[in-house]
Structure 1
Amino acid sequence: MSTEELTFNDGDAIFGEMEPSDCAFEVIKGEVELTVAGKKGRVDVAVVKPGARLSEGEALERSSRGAAAKAMGEVTLRVISRTELLKTAKKTNFGPDRTEKAPEKAPEKAMVPVAEPALLIDGQAEQLPLDDEEPAKPKKQKASFFQRLLGGRFKGEKMVVYIAPLITTHLNEPDQIDATAEAHHLMCSLVRQAGLKVKLYAKQVPFDAAEAAIFQATDVESWGRGILKKNSADLMIWGEIPPPATTVYLRFISAVPCEDDRPGTFNTSQALALPLGFGPEFTDLLVAVIFAATMPGTDGKALTRLNLIAKIIDKALPFVRALPPDLTSVERAHIRICFGNALATAGWLHKSSDLDHTAAQIYQEALSELTREEEPASWAMAQKHLGSVLQVLAERSEGADVLEASIDAFNAALKVLTRLDFPLEWASAQNRLGQSLYRLDRRTEDVEMTKHSLSAFQSALQVYSKTNKPDIWADVMNNFAQAAQVLGEQLRNTEVLEKAADACRQALSVRTKGKSPHGWAATQNNLGAALFLLAKQLLMEKKAAEEPLCQAADAFRKALDVYTGLNAENLARITGRNLSRVEGALDKLHGKPAPKLRWENEPAKP
């Protein structure tokens, strides 16, 4: 259990609403005020007292915090790492239990028919009865906002999925397909699924059939998120039926955008191809993709996804391995790209190399069905996704060949993904390419590879900024700093080392100890390393080096405190060694003698 504690004074901000999170907190001393944004300013929603926890589910999903937290008086919080939360989650049944024995039906009780699903008009929220709910019984009280926010022990909530009318304007005769019936069929295929509530939405998506979906993604996502937020829903499914009207291409909009550049991330341009009127054999595949495409907005929904996604993927995998032969090669490729994203998402959630290996295989199978000439955007996205999971696998192993394969995949993707047409995807591929080049350089000590990695990071920073993507921007700045300190040491160049230290300081303006202790400590450690290397080079040049040495020691101490508190023993040991080296250099600079060994203090024997 983590022993890292943070202390705040009266009025101090602990974290902000919608800030990303990779840890939770337990209130040890004092009280914490929680507020959310309202139409007329901040609204007080709760006062959290000692013993309560903050943001458990949000930390598990690394999603945004649901409220802002501020200290009321002097406050002490214990940091709860995501690793500790995962261990707790595995021991607790957070998700809906589908294995319980069904209650026997009383003979005198007539069956209650399921009501015909009603349409939602202009975002009017109307709950639809589901087959797995029993209307005759009073509804159980839902977990309160405070329970969800504070991480109380409760069963997972169902995620609310809206299905918008399917677009048929591509067809020469749009009326030849009953789009409403197809949307209804889609809903009926999902209505019995664990963890989901499904509703039909009546308003048409603002989509121009004459323009490619990739170029309308921003506007469509903005519209969809507005509808979802208004109705406290989680995912919008929409799509189009192109000629010859045999396939529907489903697209997904999550109410909460994915703010980190993780493997398996969905965007509006990616579509799941399913046959019109698809059979039940496709349902597990669809549900797996839904769980992967949704960023849950509450703790309960986050824990539901964590509990169910790997199970549904395991059920769908045999079908995806042997898709029906009547599907076209492009349709099979789209299915496998989306399912690969589901595998990569589950691998990220569960830290599973097995799931990541399978994701890589599925992406490769998709690429075997695609050509760059026929489907350039889909081909490039599959290459980028493949590179991302290979990179994760390389981080868990020593295989340089896996890193080289990830570099090949990113370079292939960048032949299609341009900054002009695909700015975010281009920047993501550049950042990940830089990471793979940097890691390969650490094994080969190739100076040119380090230079290429820095160039890739600088390219990514042309798109990511502290304003539009602050957390990803901070990640890229930290990556740049790591590569720059290596190049600075290789070239013995103080200017490059100073840039590395400055990049760390900029990253720390976003990576705070409160919202991301691991990230904050990692950047402090990188800052210490850059300053230590800078001091060594200055000493070699007979220049003053005491200031960067003192700053390096301070940075290492800050990192060591967090790693020790989080029981990150290996990281604490490495940081402790770094600190000892800096302190030794300071002692030598100040002319202090080396400490005497134990036997040197013992009196000489006669």
Structure 2
Amino acid sequence: MGASSRTKQQVDAALAAVEDADASDSDKAQMLMEIAMGLQQAPRDPEDLRAAVDLYRRAIALVPPNEALGAARIRARLSTALMAVPGSDAEAIKAARLEMTTAIATLTAEGSDAEIAEAEMNLGLICQTMAGMGLAPIQPAISAYQRALRTFDRTAFPKEFAILQNNLATAFLSMPFTDESGKLREALAVQAFEEALRVVTLIDQPVEYAMLQNNLGNALQYVSSAHRVENGFRALEAYDEALKVRTFRDMPEAYANTIANKANCMANLPDDPANPEAGNPRNVAAAVALLREAKGIFVARGVEDKAQAVAEAITELSSHLAPHGAFAPNAMH
């Protein structure tokens, strides 16, 4: 039996059970929502997500008109399911934004502060995804994250706070830096990564810690600043922190991403910070060695686009020891 037909049988059985249940429409809506949540949280196939979307919509239709808050809560879950539905077109993500915006209107009036903040955080993710697809500007995502931070502070909600700071930073860095305000946004991105790292620790959240340190390194490496060399050495420290977790044994592809980023950084730093005019042949040689290691990992794992990018960087560095500041390939996450 195919995954699609299996999911349909399960959903049809669930719908029949709900229909036969001696329960109010409100209770039936709750049952459908819980079934949809089960499909959404552990999908075995994209069809499970589409079935969850359908069940959420059926649940909303059952909610009595005088229970607007209940409908808004289901609508917010529907939005997150739409976010997860795979597809090349933009219809699902556009529908997700509409559903979340509609839900927030009711949650703002009747929901708890935490519910509102969670919805704003998810709205930010939706808007950031749409910006990445070229469908919307990034500013609405930043605004939604900032609204969520009014509730999700460092003390009471450290996990959510760290996620929001990371998302804010990546949103800042995605904006075009065509004017002086670009420098401010870069600085805000660095600050946001550093804020997240005040609550995420190597011991308690190692994967998140490594991701943030890698991203902080990238931000420091490319920030427009009069302290470029100083920032570069700070970036190296951040990459080394990430590599405490992103090891070749445990996380080979993430390890390759980070050593490639570290190599890019090293290639633009002087061998002797006290005498930058002496050049950086040692750093360039070390960078090439790291890039070759990263390329080998990407090739072995079939990550062709990254293997190609690293190969081009190796060619550039090997052909002429890159002039200070002339080498700036894309960072890897």
Provide the TM-score with structure 1 as the length reference.
0.47
Q: Do the aligned partners of residues 413 and 421 (structure 1) sit closer, same or farther apart at CA in structure 2, a change above 3 Å counting?
A: same
In the alignment, the residues of structure 1 paired with residue 111 and residue 26 of structure 2 have an alpha-carbon distance, to the nearest angstrom, of: 26
SS at match of 2:277: coil
Q: Indicate which of 472, 477, 486 corresponds to 2:208.
A: 472
Is 1:494 equivalent to 2:229 in the alignment?
yes
Is 1:344 equivalent to 2:83 in the alignment?
yes
In the alignment, the residues of structure 1 paired with residue 206 and residue 75 of structure 2 have an alpha-carbon distance, to the nearest angstrom, of: 32
The aligned amino acid for 1:516 is: M
Task: Flag the structure with larger Rg.
Answer: 1
The aligned amino acid for 1:355 is: A
Taking the TM superposition and a 5 Å limit, the aligned residue runs for 1:319-398 are 319=58, 324-347=63-86, 354-371=91-108, 375-395=112-132, 397-398=133-134
Determine the structure 1 residue equivalent to 2:148: 413
Q: Indicate which of 295, 315, 327 corresponds to 1:560.
A: 295
User: In the alignment, is the contact (CA less than 8 A) between 2:57 and 2:78 conserved in 1?
Assistant: no
In the alignment, the residues of structure 2 paired with residue 319 and residue 526 of structure 1 have an alpha-carbon distance, to the nearest angstrom, of: 47
Q: Indicate which of 579, 582, 585 corresponds to 2:317.
A: 582
CA-to-aligned-CA distance 1:94-146 (integer Å, 9 cap, x gap): 6773679xxxxxxxxxxxxxxxxxxxxxxxxxxxxxx98xxxxxxxxxxxxxx
- Structure 1 stretches lacking a partner, 5+ long: 1-91, 101-130, 133-184, 193-273, 295-303, 590-606
CA-to-aligned-CA distance 1:427-477 (integer Å, 9 cap, x gap): 111111111111215576711101101111111111111111111111111
Q: In the TM superposition, what is the alpha-carbon distance from 1:521 to its structure 2 partner? A: 2.1
Provide the TM-score with structure 2 as the length reference.
0.81
Determine the structure 1 residue equivalent to 2:190: 454
Q: In the TM superposition, what is the alpha-carbon distance from 1:356 to its structure 2 partner? A: 3.3
In the alignment, the residues of structure 2 paired with residue 352 and residue 463 of structure 1 have an alpha-carbon distance, to the nearest angstrom, of: 37
Taking the TM superposition and a 5 Å limit, the aligned residue runs for 1:109-508 are 189=18, 278-279=27-28, 283-294=31-42, 305-316=44-55, 318-319=57-58, 324-347=63-86, 354-371=91-108, 375-395=112-132, 397-398=133-134, 401-441=136-176, 446-487=182-223, 490-491=225-226, 493-508=228-243
Taking the TM superposition and a 5 Å limit, the aligned residue runs for 1:514-533 are 514-533=249-268
CA-to-aligned-CA distance 1:378-419 (integer Å, 9 cap, x gap): 111100011123223333x245x4322111110111112111
Determine the structure 2 residue equivalent to 1:97: 6
Determine the structure 2 residue equivalent to 1:196: none
Q: Do the aligned partners of residues 577 and 449 (structure 1) sit closer, same or farther apart at CA in structure 2, a change above 3 Å counting?
A: same
CA-to-aligned-CA distance 1:195-247 (integer Å, 9 cap, x gap): xxxxxxxxxxxxxxxxxxxxxxxxxxxxxxxxxxxxxxxxxxxxxxxxxxxxx
Q: More helix per residue: 1 or 2?
A: 2
CA-to-aligned-CA distance 1:471-493 (integer Å, 9 cap, x gap): 11111111111110011x54352
In the alignment, the residues of structure 1 paired with residue 255 and residue 319 of structure 2 have an alpha-carbon distance, to the nearest angstrom, of: 25
User: In the alignment, is the contact (CA less than 8 A) between 2:60 and 2:74 conserved in 1?
Assistant: no
Q: Do the aligned partners of residues 405 and 490 (structure 1) sit closer, same or farther apart at CA in structure 2, a change above 3 Å counting?
A: same
SS at match of 1:340: helix
CA-to-aligned-CA distance 1:161-211 (integer Å, 9 cap, x gap): xxxxxxxxxxxxxxxxxxxxxxxx9xx64999xxxxxxxxxxxxxxxxxxx
In the alignment, the residues of structure 1 paired with residue 256 and residue 113 of structure 2 have an alpha-carbon distance, to the nearest angstrom, of: 41
Q: More strand per residue: 1 or 2?
A: 1
Q: In the TM superposition, what is the alpha-carbon distance from 1:516 to its structure 2 partner? A: 3.1
The aligned amino acid for 2:150 is: K
Determine the structure 2 residue equivalent to 1:547: 282
In the alignment, the residues of structure 1 paired with residue 39 and residue 267 of structure 2 have an alpha-carbon distance, to the nearest angstrom, of: 45
User: In the alignment, is the contact (CA less than 8 A) between 2:162 and 2:195 conserved in 1?
Assistant: yes
CA-to-aligned-CA distance 1:283-342 (integer Å, 9 cap, x gap): 543322123345xxxxxxxxx633542231342354367564524332222111222233
Q: Do the aligned partners of residues 96 and 471 (structure 1) sit closer, same or farther apart at CA in structure 2, a change above 3 Å counting?
A: farther
- Structure 2 stretches lacking a partner, 5+ long: 325-333
Determine the structure 1 residue equivalent to 2:330: none
Higher RCO (CA < 8 A, seq sep 6+): 1
